[in-house]
Amino acid sequence: MIKIKRKLRLKIRPFTIITFLFDLAFIAILVIIYTPIINFKNLWVTTAMTTMNHQYLAYTLYSEEDVNKIMDSNYIEESKEAMNLDDIIIGDNKEKKHYKDEYERAIYTRDKDNDVYKIIRINEKTYKGYLTVVYDPKDVTLAVPKKLGKAGTSVNNLVLENDGLVGINGGGFEDLDGWGNGSKPYGAIIKDGKLLWDYKESGGLIGFTKTHKLWLTNMEPDEAIKKGMSEAVEFGPYLIINGKKANIHGDGGWGIAPRTVIAQRKDGIVLFLIIEGRLPGYSIGADLNEVIELLSKYGAYNAANLDGGASSTMSVNGKLYNKPSAGGEYGGRTVSNAWIVTNKSHKKVPKKKEVKR
């Protein structure tokens, strides 16, 4: 097993007393609602440190030594077992007469006149979200801004520009003081078997082979391309490999937050998961343990964490579908890449109705 620690970037920016009190209340609400008082210290620190722009809150109550100790005790052990892509048998996902449970039924039962994808509403006690089920992995592709490296693009526009149906945000990007516009991606980007962006960042490659199988690997991009990687972003951590869950100590150091995750089942079905969060009274967010348990119920065989927080965005037919924690009034944040569902098989797909929230 490989011990993975979250790479911390402490962002310090000027703020007023009002802003400080608002941020303090924000984290306090998360902690009070979500956890017994015995876990207050641990959850306060990890949740603050995962926000990127509220990390200073961890240091308002605890010393740097305390924060470091807490983060050191919350980490993820990814399996170093090599992925067995032969386990993925694409195409065996027709509707059945009998289902083993409600989750299998939800996956296999198509929407009327739409056998390309369906969207399942996630409504748990402390968080809400959406799970997009993509029946043919050939319909999944990576979209990047036209001015990659100079300007980002919203997931909405990336869907529209690529004749897509559904899209979610992908890898991370430079986000100094919370004002990043997706112009400078963190990590490598591979598109159509070519390395479009080469910036070494902590994490591994998350992408698809030429045979449309989700491949999670720590290979260097050039080596991965030679071995069949067609499209990929760099992020992490890996949550499930060959059906085996990552060993998460504490909450892994990632706290509670909005999440974006991509996964694939053994039958080839691809899953896009969006967890909404940082919206007190509606959805707090989820930790990685909760994400893994949820995806396991829906049969995820391989899964990886993508960029979360305010970047967690889902678009359907070029319109914002989820409630992001920031930027919703603008159609979501601009990002450096997105995983989208196209219609390569030319199947009939009805327009998705507006969701009632």
Is there a single domain that holds both residue 178 and residue 264? yes
The C-alpha atoms of residue 258 and residue 237 are separated, in whole angstroms, by 15
Is there a single domain that holds both residue 97 and residue 144? yes
Is there a single domain that holds both residue 183 and residue 316? yes
Is there a single domain that holds both residue 113 and residue 70? no
Which pLDDT tens digit goes with each residue over 19-61? Answer: 555 555 665 555 554 445 447 788 788 888 876 667 888 888 8
Residue 331 lies in a domain: yes
Q: What's the mean per-residue pLDDT of the chain?
A: 87
Residue 128 lies in a domain: yes
Is there a single domain that holds both residue 331 and residue 291? yes
Is there a single domain that holds both residue 327 and residue 270? yes
Residue 353 lies in a domain: no
Encode burial over 217-238: b for 16+ CB neighbours within 10 A, e otherwise. beeebeebbeeebbbbbbbbbb
Q: What value does the mean pLDDT take over residues 113-132? A: 96
Domain final position from 75, 99, 116: 75
pLDDT reported for residue 15: 42
Q: How confident is the model at residue 11 (pLDDT cuts 50, 70, 90)?
A: very low
Residue 80 lies in a domain: no
Which pLDDT tens digit goes with each residue over 210-262? Answer: 999 999 999 999 999 999 999 999 999 999 999 999 999 999 999 999 999 99
Residue 347 lies in a domain: no
Is there a single domain that holds both residue 282 and residue 172? yes
Is there a single domain that holds both residue 51 and residue 175? no
Residue 352 lies in a domain: no
pLDDT reported for residue 1: 43
Is there a single domain that holds both residue 171 and residue 305? yes
Is there a single domain that holds both residue 175 and residue 280? yes
Residue 349 lies in a domain: no
Q: Is the pLDDT of residue 120 over 50?
A: yes
Domain final position from 49, 75, 101: 75
Which pLDDT tens digit goes with each residue over 174-222? Answer: 876 666 788 899 999 999 999 999 987 668 999 999 999 999 999 999 9
Q: Are 312 and 261 in contact (CB under 8 A)?
A: no
Total of domains in the chain: 2
Give the neighbor-by-neighbor strand order of the sheet with 247-249.
Answer: 2-4, 75-78, 247-249
Q: Is the pLDDT of residue 62 over 90?
A: no
Range of the domain at 20: 2-75
pLDDT reported for residue 52: 60
Residue 351 lies in a domain: no
Residue with tokens 């694939």: 264
Is there a single domain that holds both residue 277 and residue 246? yes
Is there a single domain that holds both residue 268 and residue 318? yes
pLDDT reported for residue 40: 75
Residue type, 300: A
